[in-house]
Structure 1
Amino acid sequence: QDYYNMDGSTYLLLQLNRLRQERILTDVLLCSDNTEIPCHRNVLASSSPYFTAMFCHHFRESHQEKVDLKVRVISLFSFYLGALVKSSVLKGIREKGAISDSAHVYHSFNQSIIHSFQAREMAVQSFSDVSISEDLCELSLPELMGYLEDDWLCAEEEQVFETLLAWIHHDPFSRRGAVSDLFRKVRLRYVHPTYLFQFIASDPLIQSSTLCTEVIESVRRLMFSITTKCGSDLKPLWVTPRRFTCRETLVLVGGRKNNEQTSREALLFDERTQRWQWLAKLPLRLYKASYVCIHSILYVLGGLTMNTKHRVVSTTVYTLSLKTNQWRTAEPMIQPRFAHQSVSYLHFIFVLGGLGQEKQVCDTVERYNSMFNQWEAMVPMPTAVLHPAVAANDQRIYMFGGEDAMQNPVRMIQVYHIGRNMWSMMETRTVKNVSAPAAVIDDKIYIIGGYTRRMIAYDTKANRFMKCENLKQRRMHHAVTVLDNKLYVTGGRFINGHDVIEDSDSFECYDPKTDAWTTKGTLPYKLFDHGSLSLVCVSNKSKPP
């Protein structure tokens, strides 16, 4: 009679427990205090967010035959397995109290687990899963604060904000007073401006807090002032560094592959495995597009389309987020162009020069405002050039060298002041680079090669050049990005000992502290005229021992 009164799921749970007791198809042993309990991973993972995190992510426990819980909850867990499955299943349909009791055991077990040191570390590393569990909403305010302020929390700041909202909404009457204290744990500097001003700023809970609204207004004023210096009221929140789990990673995109055709490939270099990973391909082959990163989103701007029968100079903008690994279209540029330069500063993207619809050399400049998703034309550059080295620092964009329409080198520095929308020029014999990239480290702009082996650094504060260790070969059409205050130079073309131009698959690193070059191996294929960017992604890498 008991059997016929059971529903399918209850009967299934009973049989799974029988299989566990008889050690049939069990695939893990939970160990603590010289006690071992055979279990099924899939049952544990489906029953507890703690075990979901343990077995469904890249932790060592996910493939171990024996897992040491390292906490004194094994007897409670054994009781949970027996009492929940036996007592509740056999009596659950008619005796609701048994289910209530076993649910209490289940909840007690999860709370014992989640408050342990090992579980806390795992919860911090798998916060995406833990943040949507009901157990997290049962945490006390100090416990939740401990999670949200943890430098090793594996989460984006937008998710941190959504977690504190969910926790407050679980018991709004008694918890809404904690909104300002919790809000200060969100590292606003790393929140996308659109999310900050359209979602966070308009949330009723945030609007009900004077402190929260004052902080948001301070951030708004800071962004509109186009400066990196903030006031004393905002500084403690604004200068907080990224969490340790947010790591910069190198991404390559587009370019000419193996001197055959324009590539749609996008590659990510995994520093831990020292291997390249393939990302989603660009929707189109784009010849001499420009590439830039802002708010950890990769932008591919313009270019000459190569997939169509008639090649078209494009205004299209494509974006890629590592979180989704999907390409999307964004607001198009005002003017079609290719062989142009782009650079990011704060929440802006600047696009400079290049070749226009009629293949003419352009002097136009346009700016994209990520806060408002709008493009606007800026004052044109004094001298139109192709293939200069471009970098932004301290409210200015520096454009070094390049070549004119007759392919003559331009020996000057053109400087654009972002806040004033004005250009200035400095002629210098030091600059003679063409098709060379530039990058900024500690107020110094490094110009790498450009039909030469020479690398120089321009000190923007002292207004002087410094010579650095040379490249091994004369190089051009290569790319550079900054990771951990080092320059990573990839691909390009070089002039060999017989004065013949060859494509390169080189991957090198320059350390300004030692003024030395080291090799990082090779790219998966030869590549030039590509984009090389540093994107931030969230990693669940464990804390160092």
Structure 2
Amino acid sequence: MSYFLAYCKSHRGTVFTQYQMLRAERQLCDVSLIVDGNEFPAHKSLLACSSDYFRAMFKDHTKESKATIVHLKVISATGLQNILDFIYTSWLSLSLSTLEDTLEAASYLQVLGAIPLCSQFLINTCDLESCCFVVNIAFKFYLTDALTEAEKYIITNLWRLLQEDLDDTELLELNVKSMINIIKSNDIPRVSEKSLLTLVLNWLQYDRIRLGYAKVLFDNIRYGLLPLDTLRKLYTQTDVPLTASIKCMIIKAINYHSTPSKQPLLQDKFSTLRNQKEWIMLVGGTANDTFVENVLGFDVYSHKWRSVTNLHLKVQHHCTCVIGNFLYVLGGETPERAQYSTKDSSLCVTNIVYRYDPRFDQWLQVSGMLENRAQFSCCIIDKYIFAMGGRGDQQTLLSTVEVYDINRDTWTKCKDLPSKMHGHAGTVHSNIIYISGGKTDTQANSSKDVYSFNRLEGQWKKQASMSIARFGHQMATVKDAIFTFLGIYEPFSDIEKYDPKTNQWTRLRPLPFDRFSYGLVVVEQTVLLLGGKKWQDSQEVPTQNIVGYDTENDCWEEICSMAFPFSGLQCSVLQLSDVTESDEKCSKVHALKKVQ
């Protein structure tokens, strides 16, 4: 005997439609739900099928199972109306004005199918005007998805919300959990720490009951990012009581400001920028044969540009390095100091050292090097800056090495190089300095020599020579290998890799075309070469592209093109607070105007 199972797609919808018609005509309704004097006829069977609350209510042993009228006192008429419409039609009418009533009814009556719809509605309608309401409703009804999304929206757009008068904004009505999550966040763009502190103080004073949460909020303020006058006012204010531990953090931050030269050594969570990401700093050099004053930032992942700051001294043939997320710019040639010199020269070699703090967008002139230096190299070991060799006044070559102690803000002499040299390159591997190439006082041509310096031993040691003599080139350390890249006047475009363990050099895939006077920086395992010049028809021609060398796969790739030719620059990676897309566009335009 054979049989088959058939399914009618329209039957379920027809049943719901017929139930709705019966309710509208008040036919076969066996119960009336009364809320605030309003009567809602319904069918016990459908209510029990849609709600665990009604299923329990209408069991045989309850008095409501035989009652024809049931009074509901907790929920509102509007909420019940919306939930009954949902039960009978599967459609839920939602608006911000009725959402709370609807959620209360859905939660109380345990109509669970309606709650995710309310949550999605909150996510979809979250905007500047409603975000604070949304996050509070989501918190009240434990809508975790909506709460997470609404808090993310507020964090991203907090700078816009703070543009309004705090007395008139719903920010001060935020629930405790969301306020704590916001202040804990590392991803708040375009909001100063001072503005966050003001928000916390105003939020705590908006309802004095909240003062019990002062400690957890103050524990997440980054005091190192607050100006000195703000820290002093916070310490002496009496509106919000401060615990002893909070006062200690404020005093620590005041001391942090009192010794600015030591700040790179004092970095911790409380002086770390929020919403920060890596930007490649393009510092100094020339564009269109004009000295560049503007320091540009480049995001290698999004290919976006921004104007970061202006140099206090236009330079070329200088060095840069980063310690504690502070950018140091050392020495070089400058056209600015030459006007005060009695020598017949358009450029002047300087010993000046500036340090840039991205936290406060400020430059600080620290102690200058003992000697004026250009075309030298600098490296960092144990947060000490080593400046080595270079060209001094009147084109004299230097063999001297000096070390900058950040803690004391002083330069001291170190073991001299084996010979006077300039145009050499340097890098650090396992706390050992390596320098290569350059030109010496005894050689007119470029050198292949390589030396290493161990700070503990205090001596320079000769290592295996490069196979190519190089001058004005660059070195980079990636994992366990050292790479040397192109310099000036090289007949080929080969690069080499050095293994410090075996003291051996290996030739690698050459760059497609020659290049010199470029900026170099390492991002993850890729070495980027930015701008520079190349030889073409016996002339120096500026290049505008950025190329990357994949050290793992020994291959080159063109990343993008710069908007203008840039050469003689130095590059370092700095963590900056992120900006919005519109800010980046404005910064790029501003940067181009500065350069051009």
* 1:254 corresponds to which of 272, 279, 284: 284
C-alpha distance in 2 between matches for 1:343 and 1:369: 13
**SS across alignment from 1:362:** strand
- Correspondence 1:533-544 to 2 at 5 A: 533-539=572-578
C-alpha distance in 2 between matches for 1:205 and 1:253: 43
Other-structure match for 1:35:
95
CA distance change for structure 1 residues 207 and 351 in 2, over 3 Å: closer, same or farther?
farther
The Cα shift of 1:402 comes to: 1.6
* 1:368 corresponds to which of 387, 391, 404: 404
Other-structure match for 1:433:
470
Other-structure match for 1:505:
544
String of CA shifts for 1:116-147, please: whole Å, max 9, x gaps. 22231124435678899799899898767755
Other-structure match for 1:342:
378
Other-structure match for 1:460:
500
C-alpha distance in 2 between matches for 1:410 and 1:164: 60
Q: Which moved more, 1:140-149 or 1:398-407?
A: 140-149
Other-structure match for 1:219:
none
Q: Any conservation in 2 of the 1:249–1:269 contact (CA below 8 Å)?
A: yes
- Correspondence 1:386-425 to 2 at 5 A: 386-405=422-441, 406-418=443-455, 420=456, 422-425=458-461
C-alpha distance in 2 between matches for 1:136 and 1:422: 59
Q: Any conservation in 1 of the 2:126–2:150 contact (CA below 8 Å)?
A: no
Q: Which moved more, 1:161-170 or 1:396-405?
A: 161-170
- Residue ranges of structure 1 left out of the alignment (5+ in a row): 1-31, 38-66, 79-105, 214-222, 227-236
**SS across alignment from 1:316:** strand
**SS across alignment from 1:303:** strand
**SS across alignment from 2:151:** helix
C-alpha distance in 2 between matches for 1:519 and 1:140: 50
Other-structure match for 1:117:
148
Q: Find out whether 1:318 has 2:318 as its counterpart.
A: no
Give the TM-score normalised by the residue count of structure 2.
Answer: 0.56
The Cα shift of 1:250 comes to: 1.8
AA aligned to 2:548 is C
C-alpha distance in 2 between matches for 1:343 and 1:510: 22
String of CA shifts for 1:241-287, please: whole Å, max 9, x gaps. x99943211221221333x3433242222446534444443233324
CA distance change for structure 1 residues 127 and 438 in 2, over 3 Å: closer, same or farther?
farther
AA aligned to 2:280 is L
C-alpha distance in 2 between matches for 1:503 and 1:108: 56
AA aligned to 1:537 is L
Other-structure match for 1:473:
513
CA distance change for structure 1 residues 36 and 72 in 2, over 3 Å: closer, same or farther?
closer
Q: Any conservation in 1 of the 2:516–2:533 contact (CA below 8 Å)?
A: yes
Q: Any conservation in 1 of the 2:519–2:531 contact (CA below 8 Å)?
A: yes
CA distance change for structure 1 residues 345 and 523 in 2, over 3 Å: closer, same or farther?
farther
Other-structure match for 2:78:
none
CA distance change for structure 1 residues 395 and 495 in 2, over 3 Å: closer, same or farther?
same
C-alpha distance in 2 between matches for 1:384 and 1:168: 63
Give the TM-score normalised by the residue count of structure 1.
Answer: 0.61
Q: Any conservation in 1 of the 2:134–2:150 contact (CA below 8 Å)?
A: no
C-alpha distance in 2 between matches for 1:176 and 1:277: 37
Other-structure match for 1:524:
563
The Cα shift of 1:302 comes to: 1.6
**SS across alignment from 1:509:** strand
Other-structure match for 1:292:
321
C-alpha distance in 1 between matches for 2:478 and 2:548: 14
C-alpha distance in 2 between matches for 1:138 and 1:458: 61
Other-structure match for 1:442:
479
CA distance change for structure 1 residues 266 and 283 in 2, over 3 Å: closer, same or farther?
same
Q: Any conservation in 2 of the 1:396–1:416 contact (CA below 8 Å)?
A: yes
CA distance change for structure 1 residues 334 and 130 in 2, over 3 Å: closer, same or farther?
farther
Other-structure match for 1:24:
none
CA distance change for structure 1 residues 116 and 373 in 2, over 3 Å: closer, same or farther?
farther
C-alpha distance in 1 between matches for 2:243 and 2:154: 29
Q: Any conservation in 2 of the 1:248–1:483 contact (CA below 8 Å)?
A: no
C-alpha distance in 2 between matches for 1:273 and 1:517: 19
Q: Any conservation in 2 of the 1:73–1:113 contact (CA below 8 Å)?
A: no
AA aligned to 2:281 is V
CA distance change for structure 1 residues 358 and 539 in 2, over 3 Å: closer, same or farther?
same
C-alpha distance in 2 between matches for 1:540 and 1:477: 30
Q: Any conservation in 2 of the 1:412–1:425 contact (CA below 8 Å)?
A: no
CA distance change for structure 1 residues 267 and 153 in 2, over 3 Å: closer, same or farther?
closer
Root mean square deviation, CA, Å? 4.9
Q: Any conservation in 2 of the 1:480–1:532 contact (CA below 8 Å)?
A: yes
The Cα shift of 1:168 comes to: 13
Q: Any conservation in 1 of the 2:283–2:571 contact (CA below 8 Å)?
A: yes
CA distance change for structure 1 residues 179 and 392 in 2, over 3 Å: closer, same or farther?
farther
- Correspondence 1:4-43 to 2 at 5 A: 34-35=94-95
AA aligned to 1:475 is R
Other-structure match for 2:527:
487
The Cα shift of 1:409 comes to: 2.7
Other-structure match for 1:54:
none
C-alpha distance in 2 between matches for 1:515 and 1:495: 24
CA distance change for structure 1 residues 504 and 147 in 2, over 3 Å: closer, same or farther?
same
C-alpha distance in 2 between matches for 1:68 and 1:289: 57
Q: Any conservation in 2 of the 1:434–1:476 contact (CA below 8 Å)?
A: no
**SS across alignment from 2:149:** helix
C-alpha distance in 2 between matches for 1:379 and 1:207: 46
Aligned length: 416
CA distance change for structure 1 residues 131 and 380 in 2, over 3 Å: closer, same or farther?
farther
The Cα shift of 1:312 comes to: 3.4
C-alpha distance in 2 between matches for 1:480 and 1:512: 14
Q: Find out whether 1:70 has 2:106 as its counterpart.
A: no
Q: Any conservation in 2 of the 1:179–1:209 contact (CA below 8 Å)?
A: no
Q: Which moved more, 1:351-360 or 1:260-269?
A: 260-269
- Residue ranges of structure 2 left out of the alignment (5+ in a row): 1-91, 98-119, 140-145, 236-241, 253-261, 342-346, 582-596
The Cα shift of 1:175 comes to: 6.2
Q: Any conservation in 1 of the 2:187–2:274 contact (CA below 8 Å)?
A: yes
AA aligned to 1:460 is P
The Cα shift of 1:470 comes to: 0.9
Q: Find out whether 1:274 has 2:303 as its counterpart.
A: yes
The Cα shift of 1:485 comes to: 2.6
Other-structure match for 1:383:
419
The Cα shift of 1:532 comes to: 1.7
The Cα shift of 1:489 comes to: 0.3
CA distance change for structure 1 residues 522 and 111 in 2, over 3 Å: closer, same or farther?
same
C-alpha distance in 2 between matches for 1:324 and 1:383: 41
**SS across alignment from 2:427:** strand
Identity %: 17
